[in-house]
Amino acid sequence: AARVVAERLPGPAVQEDEALLEHIRAHGNCGWHQVGTCRMGRDALSVVDPRLRVHGIGRLRVADGSVMPTITSGNTNAPCIMIGEKAADMIRQDALPRRDAS
């Protein structure tokens, strides 16, 4: 069975919070899969409503991975495409008269 033999990174010399933060600044990266930065909901902490409209700003929507509550276990490309497709449907529905939206 696998076991931890020694700490590799940031290393045993890094013990203080400031040293750990410096290590993160120097060596951390995002992996280019940012999600969850625009919370969806109706509460005061949310950025967009369930139809992806930004609260308090007319005619602006967010339709990307930032509305995902958590990252997927795979690549974020397909979910982002689906969010965009759904956003296009909602924009169309909101723009057309109620009887013609379907």
The catalytic residue positions are 33
CA 52, distance to chain mean position in Å, is 13
In a 13 Å sphere around the CA of 73, the CA atoms on its Cβ side amount to 0
Tell me the one-letter amino acid at 78.
Answer: A
Phi, psi of 19 (to 5 degrees): -65, -40
Distance CA 37, CA 47 (A): 9
